[in-house]
Amino acid sequence: MNEQLADRSRTFGYAISAQERNKVLRNTYWLLALSMVPTVLGAWMGVEFGIGKMFTGGLGLVLFFAGAFGFVYAIERTKNSGIGVPVLLGFTFFMGLVLSRLIESTLGFKNGPELIMTAFGGTAGVFFLMASAASVIKRDLSGMGQWLFVGTIVLLVGGIVNVFVGSSTGMVVMSMAAIGIFSAYMLYDLKRIVDGGETNYVSATLALYLDIFNVFQSLLALLGIFGGERD
């Protein structure tokens, strides 16, 4: 079995053994689970102290991009050192603060806690499905990357425009598109790890975390729009 996996890695052009691949995958899953702790803490603090309101409007958008891209740059620079993991966890705390704005809005619904748990369960289901698919699909999916990147750029531009337009229809369309794009990205990123294309578990965790974050955020937004119950 290990020889078959190693053969697949060589077929796709990756010089990594099955043992190394399994180690990266295992460490990625552990770090991904750990990253949820500062995310939840950041979301709680954001709701409790109203920090999430900082990320509203044009100025909030600038603040978000500055923080997010700054953290991503720092993670990539430190991923091979001892501080790579703490920097990544700092980023997930920051993203929890960003998420708190949506969490607070959702908690304003009578069924807010149920919507949050539904979004969490739905995201976990998507991850399980993509992880299962990545483990059985034999085809090389590296060609998906460029198309997903283009889709992400279009989604990003649309999101920036909608911040100023404030269209509910636009929000629905972009949320649905985001769920599709980042679910596919989840499969793509998991398949890269399975095939040995990603050898650094910090980078792998960052990629999967962003996939999960965007699926959860978009799913929660849709649930709030279509299923939120006012008092």
Extents of the domains making up the chain? 16-227
Give the SS3 label for residue 161. Answer: helix
Amino acid 160: pLDDT = 86
Cβ contacts of residue 63 below 8 Å, gap of 6+? 54, 55
CA distance 177 to 55: 22
CA distance 25 to 10: 18
Cβ contacts of residue 89 below 8 Å, gap of 6+? 34, 35, 37, 38
Determine how many CB atoms are found less than 10 A away from the CB of residue 87. Answer: 19
Determine how many CB atoms are found less than 10 A away from the CB of residue 88. Answer: 27
What count of Cα atoms within 13 Å lies in the side-chain half-sphere of residue 34? 17
Closest CA to 189 of 170, 206, 175, 168: 206
* Structure-block tokens of residue 58: 């044009």
Amino acid 57: pLDDT = 80
For the chain, list residues with pLDDT below 70: 1-16
Q: How far is CA 42 from CA 36, 50, 55, 60, 110, in A?
A: 10, 11, 13, 17, 23
Detail the DSSP E strand segments found in the chain.
Answer: none
Q: Is 9 within 8 Å of 195 (Cβ atoms)?
A: yes
Amino acid 27: pLDDT = 96
Tokens 């909608």 — which residue? 162
CA distance 57 to 59: 6
Amino acid 12: pLDDT = 53
In the chain, the amino acid numbered 61 is L
What is the value of pTM for the model shown?
Answer: 0.91
